[in-house]
Structure 1
Amino acid sequence: MQRIIEKTEDGSATLFVPELNEHYHSVKGARTESQHIFVDMGLKASAAAHPHILEIGFGTGLNALLTLETAEKEKRHVHYTGIELYPLAWPEVDALKYSGNPLFEKLHRAAWEENVTVTPYFTLKKVRADVETISSDSLLMINKSPFDVVYFDAFAPEKQPGMWEEEVFRNLHAAMDTNGVLTTYCAKGAVRRMLQAVGFKVERLPGPPGGKREILRARKEVVNY
Structure 2
Amino acid sequence: MWTPRSCPHGHRECSHGELEQWSTVPNAITALRTVVAVGLGLAAAVDQDLTLLLWATGVYWVGDTADGAVARLLGRENRIGAVFDIVCDRVCAAVVYMGVVWLLPHMVLPVAVYLLSFSVVDLMLSLAFLAYPLSSPNYFYLADAPIYRWNWSKPAKAANSAIFLVLLLLTESVVLTTAIAGVLLVAKLLSLRRLSRLPPAPDTDCAHELSRSPAGPETR
Q: TM-score when scaled to structure 1? A: 0.26
Of Structure 1 and Structure 2, which has the larger fraction of its residues in helix? 2
Higher share of residues assigned strand? 1
Larger Rg: 2
